[in-house]
Amino acid sequence: MASFGELENLVAIVTGGSYGIGRATAIRLAEEGARVTILARGTDRLDQTLQMIEQRVGKGKAIAFAADVSDEQSAPLAFEKTLTAFGGMDIIINNAGWMKYAAIDETSLDLWQSTIAVQATASFLFAREGFRYWKNNQKAGNIIFVTSKAAQAAAANISAYSAAKAGVMHFARCLAEEGGPFNIRVNSVSPGAVLHDTALFTEQMRQETARKYGIPPEQLEEFYAKRSALKVMLTPQDVAEAILFLCSPKSANITGAVLTVDAGLGNAYLR
């Protein structure tokens, strides 16, 4: 007897799919039967993600293309390509992100606007396109926003990133209210620090973060693990499993929620 995954016959779009959480999520959704469209700025690692999916589930289950998700034309293009390839659209994972440390008096307008664009504007554009498609076609829909523990826990020198993520988290709750009558669910996943295979945590950021905490860069993983309640370091796969849950029928009656995946960080607990 053939076995079917939790997301069999569903179609998903994943932004920021060439690294870390986005890559792990795209792979995990495909493993559970979803057909997946993956977007990222560059093609090299994006093609790697596509190859990894094909190695696991075979060809024809995923497509990938490079795009600036903060550009207004990216979302309609993603939907057009997805509908052409798979005939439908059910899930949007707004995951693309960008971060740079800067004190507020050293934060340029360009840094502020580019941070808002990738985190918040892109999320708005893909959510808007999803609502238009689902409402016009009288179909159920599902959006998951990947935010950050920075949306809950204040920290110095990342105000642009934190403000964008906090805004996206509340934006998701507003959309949950708006989407409910149309059977459109909207939730957020709020990860803690993920240092493995991430475009956010560059070598420069590793050096700056280590300097901020007064520790050698090679001790960052241990430092982050020890400060959590569970004393473990997060992986992209940990976050992908939470996203999978919110995509699956198991969460059919959950909307407007924030699912934290941070191994327990007291200053980021929702309250």
For residue 161, indicate whether it is catalytic. yes
Catalytic residue, chosen from 19, 133, 161, 224, is: 161
Burial grade of 227 (CB within 10 A; 0-12, 13-18, 19 or more): middle
What is the distance between the alpha carbons of residues 243 and 248, in angstroms, rounded to a whole number?
Answer: 9
The percent helix, strand, coil of the chain (3-state, each to 5) is: 50, 15, 35
Using CB atoms within 10 Å of the CB of residue 2, give its burial: 0 to 12 exposed, 13 to 18 middle, 19+ buried: exposed
Question: Please, is 102 exposed, middle or buried when counting C-beta atoms within 10 Å of its C-beta (0-12, 13-18, 19+)?
Answer: middle
**Tokens standing for 238?**
């940990």
- The residue with tokens 């960080």 is 265
> Can you read off the two tokens belonging to residue 161?
């990133």
Nearest-angstrom CA–CA distance, 255 and 153? 22
Residue 93's DSSP bridge partners are: 14, 144
CA distance 235 to 233: 7
**Is residue 17 within 8 Å of residue 95, measured between CB atoms?**
yes
Handedness of CA 82, 83, 85, 88 (dihedral sign): positive
Catalytic residues: 161
